[in-house]
Amino acid sequence: MSESPEQRDVPLRTGAEGPLDPEDLAMADGVDPTPENIEKYRRMLEEKGPRAVEEIVP
């Protein structure tokens, strides 16, 4: 049986609460964190900030 929200010890996280690294975005997108991919996601984070994860993870 699943727990109600009042019974949870740990709050649910969406992933956007904390800092994101380009490596996090690469792995969330299912690609290897190669230097080229890290640079791509670094630019994405620089441009879009934490919203970048919303484009990768539905």
Is residue 26 included in any domain, yes or no? Answer: yes
Look over the chain and give the mean of its residue pLDDT values, rounded to a whole number.
81
CB atoms within 10 A of CB 29: 16
Quote the pLDDT of residue 42.
96
Higher confidence at residue 3 or residue 42? 42
Its domain, for residue 50, covers 18-56
Q: How many domains does the chain have?
A: 1
- Average of pLDDT values for 19-38? 92
Is residue 51 included in any domain, yes or no? Answer: yes
User: What tokens does 23 get?
Assistant: 């490596």
Lowest-confidence region among 19-28, 29-38, 49-58 = 49-58
Residue indicated by tokens 């956007």: 16
Provide the sign of the torsion angle of the four alpha carbons 51, 14, 21, 41, taken in this order: negative
- The pTM of this model reads 0.67
